Amino acid sequence: MDQPQQIRLNKFLAERLGVSRREADDLISAGKIAIDGKPASLGARVDFSSKVCYNGKIIPFEADFLYIAFNKPVGYVCSRRAQGDTPTLYELLPKEYRKLKTVGRLDKDSSGLILLTNDGDFAYQMTHPKFHKEKVYEVTLDRPLEPLHQQMISDYGIMLDDGPSKFTVVASAGGGAGGTPAARRREPSTVGETATTGPAERTHLTVILSEGRNRQIRRTFAALGYRVTALHRTKFGPYQLSGLKPGKYVTIKA
């Protein structure tokens, strides 16, 4: 007879509670998790016959995971609680989706694709730097980006307080934040203007990166004397907005 399939406890908790594996380990270390009536230990494994409890409540072994893609409008935060007068994006979602956690964040002044799920393992794989999930943003600056600065960011990186920041910057062939990057993406230009990439196009940019540090794009351009006036995410890993209107969502498959 086949033996029951076992999985690591922190993976089980991440998937069922919608937390990261590190957060799951913290719960175990804090003594909040029990297996079959005994305090759980780091590295433990469980199967469908295990009785796993969190603060005394049983966590079912089987779980229904949900994944949605949401087009966040400007003016909303990604936290569960409103920040002062600033509303939270959860106010735009049906009640049954308000327990989902955002996969990463977009700040209040940014818009575009945000993923939400109750699958902590999915969130971990989408956000941990080692998985290199590509994200694409349409960015508008307050003035044209100097070609030398574009090359500095893309080729060498800009030193910030939390380390170097390096990502690909592509001048867009018309349009602004919120457009379709595939229709406008070009190879990064060399130093110097070209006949097809003028100052107007150098204000509207496509940024491609695989990191996800706090306000990284805004801070990188600010270090060079630019202000980001619009930032709109259009792609996150394999997921794209694909015409989804602001404030609307669709369910997706992991």
Distance CA 109, CA 192 (A): 31
Number of neighbours of residue 154 by Cβ within 10 angstroms = 17
119 in catalytic set? no
Q: Which member of 26, 47, 107, 121 is catalytic? A: 107
User: How many whole angstroms from its chain centre is CA 156?
Assistant: 24
How many residues belong to the chain? Answer: 254
Distances in whole angstroms, Cα of residue 5 to Cα of each of 13, 47, 105: 16, 6, 34
Cβ pair 38, 28 in contact under 8 A: no
Q: How many CA atoms lie within 13 A of 253 on its CB side?
A: 0
Please, which residues bridge with residue 140 across strands? 204, 230
Q: How many helices (H) and strands (E) does the chain have?
A: 6, 17
* Catalytic residue annotation: 107
